[in-house]
Structure 1
């Protein structure tokens, strides 16, 4: 039975991390490992360079979550309260220390 490996990336832009991942994948024995790349965004110059035996999956909900993930938590909660999403605001994690 093959072992499974998942790599997670934002996208496949032309960059050092993405190139290093492609080089590493080319060295992994495909007969022993089932490789999946999980991406948040479906674009980049290296998309066509992903070997055909590598599974590629995308987080479809990322566009909806992107704002919440990139903004400071307190800003997200304030925004939720202002738009009438009080329960979601209270459920959003606030255990981030003040900086």
Structure 2
């Protein structure tokens, strides 16, 4: 399983930069995607996929401890749709 630091190391090795520069680049990409999603904008990265904020409808749920019915409010959640290129590469 790769984590963010593994990604930073691989980016640094690929582009021939320091880990610090690669970490700033990875953090910048993640930060900008997050900012766009907070504003309700869709982010499309060719060859990777589409990041978007969707509204999940409110619903009734149950408290697992007591079994009491509770209302789960509507909320915005991040969604990712993989591109065909990424899907084909993973096959």
The TM-score with structure 2 as length reference comes to 0.28
- Which structure's relative contact order is higher, taking Cα pairs within 8 Å and 6+ residues apart? 1
The TM-score with structure 1 as length reference comes to 0.26
